[in-house]
Homo-oligomer: A and B are copies of this chain.
Amino acid sequence: MEQLTSSGKITVSWHHRVLKCRDAFQAEGPALASLFQTEEGPSRVLIVIDAGLDAAQPELRANVMHWMQQHPEAVTPSGPPLIVLGGEQAKQDHVVFDQVVQAVHQRRICRQSYILAIGGGAMLDAVGLAAATAHRGVRLVRLPSTTLSQADAGVSVKNGINAFGAKNLIGTFAPPWAVINDATLLPTLDDVFWRGGLSEAVKVGLLKDPDLLTMIEESTSDLNNRDLDAMERIVTATANLHVNHIVSGGDPFEISRARPLDFGHWSAHQLEQMTGTRLSHGDAVGIGLLIDLQYAALELGASSALVNRVADCLASLGFPTHSDAMTDEDRLLEGIERFREHLGGKLAITMVTQPGLSMEIDQMDAHAVRQALRLVRSRGQERSLRAG
């Protein structure tokens, strides 16, 4: 009955660029400016800054404006920086999204103009959705301001906000114009956010690069002493592995089901939800890794030594290795179902069995998960007692 009248392949390409630097807006050289300059002259730029970062580094606003004034050949600010809520609040509803879309409209930002977004992962998620949808897409330059966002979300091609009580219910895949990882944004972070990216680094090391895992283990005291060079090395290595996965993984927009970088995340997301985000994402991921590794030790042949090694590493970096929320096993197990729904019907969980060696499973045995939860929790408690 039906006839195909027209058909064809639509192919679109983007260039994904991640740069690193120090003091981005005090640089004399033209490298950063050249991101914005076009053949036709300077580009209009809407600057958006995370309120948390603005409070921690109050000189940043002036530095950005000063840098812009020094590069009139490349950039034209569309007005003073727009300061928006940071942290999970930024994506809790559409307030930040609306503020940015409205500014795009009022300040005459067009599809060839830029949004320069400086802030943490949640703020970049909300601003990124606005950039991806205002005029069907304005160019976005991200400066992630936390170790977690520099290592992970800030270099990703995703954005999103929460809606109707569901995390990241509204979002898009949209490659940024460029990402600039500026290490000088990091020293003002508190301890939780300073270590925040390191559990993702451990995760990516476990999945893809055993040398990164070793590098983290050898850097623990430097990292705990706030050595910026050490942090920059680990953040850069982690970010590069993420970018490589996006660029070479064959499915940058996750059109198929597998999402092999989500190791440890079904429980991390659920723990965040259960604790009302009192547990930071970085801390939750650390615990999530231990749960999945312990499961892999029980069911898939991973060694107990690996579980202990990772627990030692995380603990030495200041991460909690268990959470009281783990006692509510029933509710935590709902995270598996939620994750399945999020993926779309079929479950696909990546499990690490040795550093650098992973496999995908399509179901988890509930009994073994409960056992893993108890083991992780009792060892975490012992560790706390010893440390205490």
Contacts and interface: CB of A to CB of B under 8 A. Distances in A.
B341 A108 contact: yes
Interface residues of A, number: 83
Contact of A136 (B27, B173, B175): B173
Contacts of A135: 168-169, 171, 342, 344
A16 B3 CA distance: 14
B133 A171 contact: yes
A236 interface: yes
B101 A8 contact: no
A17 B7 contact: yes
A20 B5 contact: yes
A55 interface: no
B247 A9 contact: yes
Contact of A343 (B2, B111, B172, B252): B111
A6 B27 contact: no
Interface in A173-226: 173, 175, 180-181
A172 B170 contact: no
A83 to B, nearest CB: 20
B18 A2 contact: no
A272 to B, nearest CB: 18
A260 interface: no
Interface string A24-40: 10011101100000001
A193 to B, nearest CB: 21
A166 interface: yes
A12 interface: yes
A163 B98 CA distance: 9
B8 A248 contact: yes
A100 B363 CA distance: 30
Q: In the complex this chain forms, how many copies of it are found?
A: 2
B10 A11 contact: no
B18 A112 contact: no
A27 B1 contact: yes
Nearest to A248: B8
Interface in A315-332: none
B170 A110 contact: no
A219 B345 CA distance: 49
Contacts of A3: 19-21
B105 A252 contact: no
A367 interface: no
Given A2-B31, A163-B101, A341-B108, A136 B18 contact: no
A17 B44 CA distance: 37
A21 B1 contact: yes
Contact of A101 (B15, B18, B164, B181): B164
Interface stretch (A238-246, A289-297, A301-309, A380-388): A238-246
A16 B27 contact: no
B136 A133 contact: no
Given A5-B236, A133-B171, A135-B168, 13 more contacts: A2-B27, A2-B180, A3-B19, A6-B240, A7-B243, A9-B16, A10-B252, A12-B252, A12-B253, A105-B169, A110-B343, A111-B254, A133-B170
Top 5 nearest A-B pairs (CB, nearest first) are A8-B247, A110-B344, A112-B344, A2-B21, A1-B27
11 contacts: A1-B23, A2-B32, A6-B17, A7-B243, A8-B246, A11-B252, A110-B345, A133-B171, A136-B168, A136-B171, A137-B172
